[in-house]
Amino acid sequence: MVGVGVGAVVGVGVGRGVTVGRTVGVTVGKGVAVGPADGTGDGAALGSGVGVAELPLEQEVMMRTKAENRDKERRRVLPGFLIIVVPFLLLCRLYLNTTRCYYRFAVQDVPQEGEEAGALKEEKMTLFATHHVHATSDTAAGQPLLSIEKVSVQFAARKGLLGRTIVRAVNDVSLALHRGETVAVVGESGSGKTTLGRASLGLVEPASGRVTFDGKVVTGQTESQRKWFRRRAQAVFQDPYSSMNAYMTVGQIVEEPLLVHGMGKREERLARVAQALQDVRLSPPDDFIGKYPHTLSGGQRQRVGIARALVMRPEYIVADEPVSMIDASSRAEVLYLMRDLQRRYGIAFLFITHDIASAAHFSNRVAVMYLGRIVELGPPRAVVNDPLHPYTRALIEAVPEPDPANRLRMRQVVPGEPPSPSNLPAGCSFHPRCPRVIKGTCEATVPPLQEIKPGHFAACYLYKT
């Protein structure tokens, strides 16, 4: 029985239908078949150009069986394929969105100079469940709360079996922090960020220079002499888990500093613990007071660490890589929380981080350290958008590219490893790696940190003042 029909053979299986008896297919061009009304394109496979094909019944049956088997196989595989591939694609999309969000917040939303450091859009507030707070008053005005004056810190380290060497972790650093101001310290590993933070807290004694807090000298005092300072300056550490006793409950962990300093009666202490937990959004506090650290997420543990610092109602907090060990979404939440606290209570933060993007987003000023020295200091937008020092440029180039389209873009990378702090190069410590080194000048003497643009400092001979 021969009828006439039109079917298009596109790829595999389109146009195949039920055929009884013999098939006549006429092929026009490639893959367009005119054949039996009961739909086939099988005949098309036999010819090219224009032609007529007749198939014997057995061959027809064989082809039909093959086609049916292929259809069955496809029907069997397709649901599995959809179940695995579709969620995978959705997860990829979600991951890319999260990464983009984080970097969009971190890199692109660096506040303008003079602009409120957290002029956040509505959607960000919803996403990270943070609440808006008012900008601090002029943080740069008046006497600094904390002054680090020409501080150098050295460590004696072993070299070989019997030898010893001097590690110059911090070299002649001066930095002032005002009430309610966040200064971010960025730089690669070993640049002296932690040592500078510890020196500012009096946890390591400088070889030279001094630290003053609220006009009083901290350096050189004994622990009992600077008890007053311990109450007013606190630290939040990188690893919230290792910095708290796993056998103590959240309530005990947060209350401990009050007990150590003999502050308040039991009821007062408990009220302060509850307030601190509320402040870090571990709410309601009663749900968390009796919990142990291992039952909390990384972000919640870090918030317990912040509550522990906050319970002392400090004026100055050193936050050393506070978010580097928690996941990306909690990271942003903890950083927004710190900024919220900074504004609400006027706390000065020294925010130590590897990540120049979050440094710029969550600070009023950014200090870039290289081999124990501050090589650039300035407002976040100026440092990120118009870096002066070649090392800062390299750090910014190293920020991962959030847009997949730009991931393969060639970047300028600083060659080589940073020299050892026990064997600092003469002159500018960056000169062995600097792409813009001025021969005969940069190796001679250390460039001083100078104001190149209003409020924007750099230690580099490229800028003559």
Which spans of this chain sit near ligand SF4 (rule: CB under 6 A)? Answer: 389-390, 428, 430-431, 434, 436-438, 442, 447, 460-462
Q: How many CB atoms lie within 10 A of CB 349?
A: 24
CB of 283 to ligand ATP, least distance (A): 32
Residue 447 interaction partner, one of ligand ATP, Mg ion, ligand SF4, none, beta carbon < 5-8 Å per kind: ligand SF4
Give CA–CA dist 260/309, Å, rounded. 13
In the complex, the smallest distance separating the C-beta of residue 443 from ligand SF4, rounded to whole angstroms, is 8
| Residue carrying the six token digits 């660490």 | 305
Residue 53's binding partner among ligand SF4, Mg ion, ligand ATP, none (Cβ under 5 to 8 angstroms by kind) is none
Tell me the sheet residues that pair with 33.
Answer: 7, 27
**Pick from ligand SF4, ligand ATP, Mg ion, none: which does 431 bind, CB < 5 to 8 A by kind?**
ligand SF4
Only segment of 32-40, 194-202, 206-214, 365-373 that touches Mg ion (CB under 5 A): 194-202
Q: How far is the CB of 391 from ligand SF4 (least distance, A)?
A: 6
> Rounded CA gap, 349 and 184, in Å?
8
Report the alpha-carbon distance of residue 142 to residue 20 in Å, rounded: 96
Q: Which of residues 7, 118, 187, 390 is near ligand ATP by CB under 6 A? A: 187
Asked if residue 191 binds ligand ATP (CB under 6 A), the reply is: yes
Among 19, 147, 182, 194, the residue binding ligand ATP under the rule CB under 6 A is 194
CB of 270 to ligand ATP, least distance (A): 35
Among 23, 130, 147, 195, binds ligand ATP (CB under 6 A): 195
Kindly tell me which of 43 and 322 has the beta carbon lying closer to Mg ion.
Answer: 322
* Residues contacting 86, CB < 8 A, separation 6+: none
Helix axis angle for 266-279 and 298-310, nearest 10°, is: 130
The Cα 255–Cα 430 span in angstroms is 45
Instruction: List the single partner that 129 binds among ligand SF4, ligand ATP, Mg ion, none, CB under 5 to 8 Å by kind.
Output: none
Show contacts with ligand ATP in window 155-174 (CB under 6 A).
155, 157, 167, 169
In angstroms, what is the minimal distance from the CB of 420 to ligand ATP? Answer: 7
CB of 355 to ligand SF4, least distance (A): 22
182 contacts Mg ion (rule: CB under 5 A): no
Q: Residue 206, interface with ligand ATP (CB under 6 A)?
A: no
**How do strand 182-186 and strand 208-213 relate by DSSP bridges?**
unpaired
Span interacting with ligand ATP, options 103-111, 191-199, 262-270, 450-458, rule CB under 6 A: 191-199
- Tell me which of Mg ion, ligand SF4, ligand ATP, none is bound by residue 157, counting a contact when its beta carbon lies within the kind-specific cut-off of 5 to 8 angstroms: ligand ATP
Amino acid at 29: G
426 counts as binding ligand ATP under rule CB under 6 A: no
Given candidates 64, 193, 269, 389, which one binds ligand ATP under the rule CB under 6 A? Answer: 193
Q: 227 — phi, psi (to 5°)?
A: -60, -35
The site partner of 430 among Mg ion, ligand SF4, ligand ATP, none (C-beta below 5 to 8 Å per kind) is ligand SF4
Q: Give the one entry of Mg ion, ligand ATP, ligand SF4, none that residue 192 binds, where binding means its C-beta sits below a cut-off of 5 to 8 angstroms depending on kind.
A: ligand ATP
> Considering beta carbons, is residue 75 or 464 the nearer one to ligand SF4?
464
Nearer to ligand SF4, 226 or 431 (CB): 431
- Residue 140's binding partner, choosing from ligand SF4, ligand ATP, Mg ion, none, with beta-carbon cut-off 5 to 8 A by kind? none
Which position among 136, 139, 171, 194 is part of the footprint of Mg ion (CB under 5 A)?
A: 194
Closer CB to ligand ATP, 155 or 241, in the complex: 155
The footprint of ligand ATP (CB under 6 A) covers 155, 157, 167, 169, 187, 189-195, 354, 421
The footprint of Mg ion (CB under 5 A) covers 194
